[in-house]
């Protein structure tokens, strides 16, 4: 879990209100940053995450596991990743972590907890000093066997722009950084879907939160003059689209979790 910090009023009413500095939580917030990467954004909009294509949003809480197909060195006794941690939202709608022991090229055991969402995974320990995972480690849910996210080869942490907010833990996005490979242009859009546990019609619609950002050949840092609030039990993520062909694209979102005490 992210370390809590206490902040004072900034003098900006919109930011102070969003951060709970006007009586909701006494300024106790949790700063974090979420980053994503997509090696091949195409001409149809797709999420900024390393698996490419669209994100998968499960409609029930399920156990998760490491998908079969990895590398033998990513094993409980191997030189690579010996265990990983998955971070998400459980069937009680709380934010949790659970450690999974790696099992080489075979699937791991399933988690004990049921997860509505998994939006971060990272390598916990390795067999060699300075090592990371020796192959991509993909996380799937065990009932639907949908690929939810991955830890790319050698990076030690997942690369997905998705953030999901737990019960009584709304968030506020304060900065977005976007980058594109040289000579290419990508158009990025920030989306939200609220009430993700509502799985029978009528559903909450996917909705664009900000005007699209067109970024060319390099990076752009976007401080948000008006912070973007995200209610509890919501998904928020970035998508990109390229005019022709494909392009690499990445993102980082700085945000605060604002617990409701």
The reported pLDDT for the residue numbered 223 is 87
Whether 93 and 121 share a structural domain = yes
Q: Is 182 within a domain?
A: yes
User: Do 121 and 191 fall within a single domain?
Assistant: no
Residues 175 and 146 grouped into a single domain: no
Q: How far apart are CA 83 and CA 125, in angstroms?
A: 6
Residue 13 has a pLDDT of 46
Same domain for 24 and 76, yes or no, is: no
Question: Same structural domain for residues 88 and 32?
Answer: no
Domain's final residue, options 120, 151, 182: 151
Residue 122 lies inside a defined structural domain of this protein: yes
Tell if the pTM clears 0.85, that is, is over it.
yes
Structural domain that includes position 166: 5-55+161-257
The per-residue pLDDT for 253 is 97
**Domain closes at, from 151, 172, 198:** 151
What is the phi/psi pair of residue 167, to 5°?
-60, 130
Assess whether 119 and 245 both reside in one domain.
no
Is 69 a domain residue? yes
Does residue 156 form part of some domain?
Answer: no
Find out whether 51 and 149 touch, Cβ atoms under 8 Å: yes
Q: Are 72 and 48 found together in one domain?
A: no
Please give the structure tokens belonging to residue 214. Answer: 């067109």
CATH code for position 18: 2.60.120.1330
163 vs 235: CA distance, rounded Å: 6
Is 192 among the domain residues? yes
Number of domains in the chain: 2
On whether residue 138 sits in a domain, the answer given is: yes
Q: For residue 14, what pLDDT is reported?
A: 54
Do both 210 and 252 map to the same domain?
yes
Residue by residue, pLDDT tens for the chain (261 residues) are: 455 555 555 555 456 655 555 445 555 678 899 999 999 999 999 999 999 999 999 999 999 999 999 999 999 999 999 999 999 999 999 999 999 999 999 999 999 999 999 999 999 999 999 999 999 999 999 999 999 999 999 999 999 999 999 999 999 999 999 999 999 999 999 999 999 999 999 999 999 999 999 999 899 999 888 889 999 999 999 999 999 999 999 999 999 898 887
């Amino acid at each position: 879990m992210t370390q809590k910090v206490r902040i004072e009023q900034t003098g900006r009413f919109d930011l102070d209100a969003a951060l709970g500095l006007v009586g909701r939580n006494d300024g106790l917030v949790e700063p974090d940053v979420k980053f994503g990467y997509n090696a091949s954004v195409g001409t149809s909009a797709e999420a900024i995450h390393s698996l490419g294509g669209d994100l998968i949003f499960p409609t029930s809480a399920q156990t998760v596991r490491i998908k079969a197909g990895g590398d033998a060195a990513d094993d409980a006794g191997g030189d690579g990743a010996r265990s990983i941690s998955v971070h998400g939202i459980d069937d009680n709608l709380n934010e949790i972590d659970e450690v999974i022991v790696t099992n080489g090229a075979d699937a791991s055991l399933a988690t004990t907890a049921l997860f509505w969402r998994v939006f971060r995974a990272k390598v916990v320990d390795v067999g060699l000093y300075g090592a990371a995972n020796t192959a991509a480690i993909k996380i799937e849910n065990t009932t639907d066997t949908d690929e939810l996210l991955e830890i790319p080869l050698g990076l030690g942490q997942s690369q997905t722009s998705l953030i999901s907010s737990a019960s009584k833990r709304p968030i506020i996005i304060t900065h977005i950084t976007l980058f594109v490979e040289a000579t290419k242009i990508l158009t990025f859009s920030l989306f939200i879907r609220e009430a993700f546990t509502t799985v029978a019609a009528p559903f909450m619609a996917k909705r664009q939160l900000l005007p699209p950002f067109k970024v060319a050949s390099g990076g752009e840092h976007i401080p948000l003059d008006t912070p973007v609030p995200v209610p509890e039990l919501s998904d928020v993520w970035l998508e990109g689209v390229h005019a022709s062909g494909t392009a690499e694209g990445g993102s980082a979102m700085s945000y605060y979790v604002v617990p409701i005490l």
